[in-house]
Amino acid sequence: MPDNLKEVVIGFLAGSREILGSRLGFFLKRTFPQWDFKTEFGTLRALVDAQLSDLLEHIGKQGGNDIYRNRLFQDDANTPSKDERELSGADRDLWVLFSNPSRTGSIFVRDNKLFTRHTRTSIATGELELPRITTDEYTELLPKAWRLCTEEIPDDIRSHIDAMIADNPSQWAATLNFLRKTGCFAVTRKLEEQRINYIIEQFRLRLLSLGLPTETVQILVEQLAESRGRKAATKQVASNRPSPVLHAISQDQHTALLRKIAKAAIDGMTVEQLLALNLPLGLVANTLLTTR
């Protein structure tokens, strides 16, 4: 284990409230290429618990990705030098602050960049405040999204979740976890996608309502999605019509071309992007068993 591990991680975490395990793991592999922490500790989680628990606290998961809270993050609104901070896709703060009404702070746009402040101060010249997702919106979103999924699951599971939502219409995490435990993975994905799509679209519309150029809005939307840990799926589809090239070829050619395109895209990805891919477990297992 590197002697300066803790000092290096402290520098990496500076300014981040939360960090994804995939980002931390990629950083460690890039910074210490000769050190395989998995050989020594088994998992990144075990490394954090054994050596970095005074810096990081495990607070949950995003899919299969661990989420850690930076224990050193200073959230002191009374400290002027730390009250304003730029938001970007480098950590989860942008996504969490915009989408989670329970978080304190305001989001401002200035010079085509996003900033957050905790104290309520007057808006500076050339600065615009971006309205965040409200508590009422978040409360109404789960029941609306759930109504689109109720026909796809057994009656007993549907009744249980109906009761959960009636008791607390904001408990997204509990609803999604229950669906995963009962094996309703397709419904889980559909429900979560509706929440994500709603947040991204509201972010886009609210930026446009501030009068920002479309090009700037798209860049900031990409930052929002990157902050969540999923940069893809934020660009709007220009048309539902099939591509003329794909439409003019046979089904076998179509499939072969799609596989070629997918392989080329994967070959160009970084390690961090590869770790963020969602691959069917069965296909991964079959590949491992058949590859020599």
pLDDT at position 10 is 87
Give the residue with greater pLDDT, 218 vs 63: 218
pLDDT at position 57 is 87
**C-beta atoms surrounding 83 within 10 Å:** 15
Q: Contact 240/229 with Cβ under 8 angstroms? A: no
Q: Contact 18/68 with Cβ under 8 angstroms? A: yes
Task: Tell me the pLDDT tens digit for each residue of 174-199.
Answer: 888 888 888 888 888 888 888 898 99
| pLDDT band, very low/low/confident/very high, at 222 (cuts 50, 70, 90) | very high
Q: Residues, the chain, total?
A: 292
Q: Give the span between the Cα atoms of 38 and 46, in whole angstroms.
A: 9
Dig out the tokens for 190 from the structure: 């559909």
Residue of 105, 91, 97 lying closest to 12 (CA atoms): 91
% pLDDT > 70, the chain: 73
Residue 159 has pLDDT above 70, yes or no: yes
pLDDT at position 193 is 87
Give the residue with greater pLDDT, 77 vs 270: 270
**Where are the alpha helices (H) located in 104-184, listed in sequence order?**
135-147, 155-167, 172-181
Task: Tell me the pLDDT tens digit for each residue of 46-82.
Answer: 999 888 888 888 888 776 788 888 888 765 444 433 5
pLDDT at position 206 is 92
Longest dimension (CA), the chain: 65
Residue of 138, 65, 147 lying closest to 99 (CA atoms): 138
Q: Give the span between the Cα atoms of 158 and 178, in whole angstroms.
A: 11
Mean pLDDT for 207-231 is 87
pLDDT at position 160 is 86
pLDDT at position 164 is 84
Residue 255 bridge partners (DSSP): none
In angstroms, the Cα distances linking 168 to 163, 172, 184, 218, 268 are 9, 9, 21, 34, 44
Q: Give the span between the Cα atoms of 266 and 261, in whole angstroms.
A: 9
- Burial class of residue 174 in the structure, from the number of CB atoms within 10 Å of its CB (0-12 exposed, 13-18 middle, 19+ buried): middle
pLDDT at position 236 is 43
Q: Are strands 18-20 and 65-70 parallel, antiparallel or unpaired?
A: antiparallel
| pLDDT band, very low/low/confident/very high, at 209 (cuts 50, 70, 90) | very high
pLDDT at position 220 is 93
- Burial class of residue 236 in the structure, from the number of CB atoms within 10 Å of its CB (0-12 exposed, 13-18 middle, 19+ buried): exposed
The values of phi and psi at residue 65, to 5°, are -100, 125
Task: Tell me the pLDDT tens digit for each residue of 80-112.
Answer: 335 678 888 887 889 988 988 878 888 999 888
Mean pLDDT for 165-171 is 79
| pLDDT band, very low/low/confident/very high, at 255 (cuts 50, 70, 90) | low
Phi-psi region of 229 (alpha: psi -120 to 50; beta: other; left: phi over 0): left
Name the E strands within 12-55. Answer: 18-20
pLDDT at position 207 is 93
pLDDT at position 158 is 83
pLDDT at position 239 is 36
Residue 240 has pLDDT above 60, yes or no: no
Q: Contact 161/179 with Cβ under 8 angstroms? A: yes
Task: Tell me the pLDDT tens digit for each residue of 2-30.
Answer: 888 888 888 888 777 888 888 898 889 88
Residue 249 has pLDDT above 70, yes or no: no
Mean pLDDT of the chain, nearest integer: 77
Q: Would you say the C-alpha torsion 11, 12, 18, 24 has a positive or negative sign?
A: negative
Mean pLDDT for 243-253 is 44
Residue 211 has pLDDT above 80, yes or no: yes
